[in-house]
């Protein structure tokens, strides 16, 4: 794992977008794993402005609320269309979000796993983190080997996402379909982006704490190619800051990203 700390949320999102752009240029048929949430909006704004060629890319989103049709204003499908897909030249048929309206959610989860395998696996998975430490919607006690499945959301998660539902946690769906922690760890490269002081405590647990199913993001420590990009506020509870900065300043891989 490498931790890169930038001055503010804009600079952190800019670095994440540059890294994604580099991967798209290196491999036009990149299979992208995508995330939703407010943190990602800045990344998608930047990617849209870069005029990249996404025409050969395929994408798989981490999760979707159960019970929201794709065209619901709160669905993650709608979020993706608005923030990224309608602004770049990706083919809609190549974009995948789990179907939270499927009559058989178990079958939909298995289909999603199969689609990812058929695509050759995810090359680069973008991740945010919830304040309970979830990646995707892998709430506390999600098995570290879990696959795509239905998951009940914690009251805390529904509260955090209430802002998107007019501030009413009761309107946030109680369940979601989400890639599992194991599905996420199968990605060839992982990129977690977190900004803001509200994420500082859980981020420190995920990066520097023990690996535990209580904090699904801590499983990222198992991955051989995982980058964590933070702003100063989200990094404020980390203890090994000097070392992380030294790696960023000295590792050849980061040379073109230092300016």
The binding site for ligand GLP (CB under 6 A) comprises 35-39, 62-63, 128-130, 136-137, 157, 161
The CB-of-157 to ligand GLP minimum distance in angstroms stands at 6
Q: Say how far apart CA 234 and CA 179 lie, in whole Å.
A: 25
The CB-of-83 to ligand GLP minimum distance in angstroms stands at 12
Q: Say how far apart CA 131 and CA 218 lie, in whole Å.
A: 13
Residue 137 token pair: 């919607």
The CB-of-159 to ligand GLP minimum distance in angstroms stands at 11
10 Å CB burial of residue 239 (0-12, 13-18, 19+) is: exposed
Residue 3 token pair: 């931790």
The neighbouring-strand residues paired with 178 are: 63, 149
Q: Which is nearer to ligand GLP, 78 or 245 (CB)?
A: 78
The CB-of-249 to ligand GLP minimum distance in angstroms stands at 28
Pairing of strands 95-96, 124-127: unpaired
Q: Which is nearer to ligand GLP, 36 or 183 (CB)?
A: 36
The CB-of-140 to ligand GLP minimum distance in angstroms stands at 13
Q: Say how far apart CA 232 and CA 132 lie, in whole Å.
A: 20
Q: Which is nearer to ligand GLP, 129 or 238 (CB)?
A: 129
Q: Which is nearer to ligand GLP, 121 or 196 (CB)?
A: 196
Query: How far lies 80's CA from each of 59, 63, 110, 119, 211, in Å?
Result: 11, 11, 22, 20, 31
The neighbouring-strand residues paired with 149 are: 178
Q: Which is nearer to ligand GLP, 48 or 56 (CB)?
A: 48
Q: Which is nearer to ligand GLP, 35 or 233 (CB)?
A: 35
Judge contact between 184 and 190, C-beta under 8 A.
yes
Q: Say how far apart CA 65 and CA 114 lie, in whole Å.
A: 20
Q: Which is nearer to ligand GLP, 9 or 31 (CB)?
A: 9
The CB-of-259 to ligand GLP minimum distance in angstroms stands at 27
Residue 73 token pair: 């204003």
Helix (DSSP H) and strand (DSSP E) numbers for the chain:
9, 10
The CB-of-89 to ligand GLP minimum distance in angstroms stands at 25
């Amino acid at each position: 794992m490498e931790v890169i700390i930038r001055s503010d949320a804009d600079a952190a999102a800019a670095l994440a977008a540059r890294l994604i752009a580099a991967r798209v240029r290196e491999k036009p048929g990149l299979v992208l794993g995508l995330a939703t949430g407010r943190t990602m909006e800045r990344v998608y704004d930047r990617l849209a402005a870069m005029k990249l060629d996404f025409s050969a890319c395929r994408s798989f989103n981490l999760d979707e609320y159960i019970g929201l049709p794709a065209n619901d204003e709160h669905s993650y499908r709608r979020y993706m269309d608005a923030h990224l897909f309608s602004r770049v030249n990706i083919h809609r048929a190549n974009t995948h979000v789990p179907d939270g309206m499927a009559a058989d959610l178990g079958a939909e989860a298995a289909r999603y796993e199969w689609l990812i395998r058929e695509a050759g696996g995810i090359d680069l998975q973008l991740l945010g983190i919830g304040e309970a430490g979830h990646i995707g919607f892998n709430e506390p006690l999600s098995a570290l080997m879990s696959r795509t499945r239905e998951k009940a959301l914690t009251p805390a998660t529904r509260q955090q996402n209430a802002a998107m539902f007019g501030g009413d946690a009761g309107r946030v769906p109680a369940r979601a379909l989400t890639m599992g922690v194991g599905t996420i760890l199968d990605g060839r490269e992982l990129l977690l982006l977190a900004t803001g002081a509200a994420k500082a405590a859980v981020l420190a647990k995920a990066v520097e704490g023990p690996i535990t199913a209580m904090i699904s993001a801590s499983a990222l420590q198992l991955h051989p190619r995982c980058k964590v990009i933070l702003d100063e506020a989200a990094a404020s509870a980390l203890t090994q800051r000097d070392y992380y900065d030294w790696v960023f300043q000295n590792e050849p891989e980061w040379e073109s990203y230092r300016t």
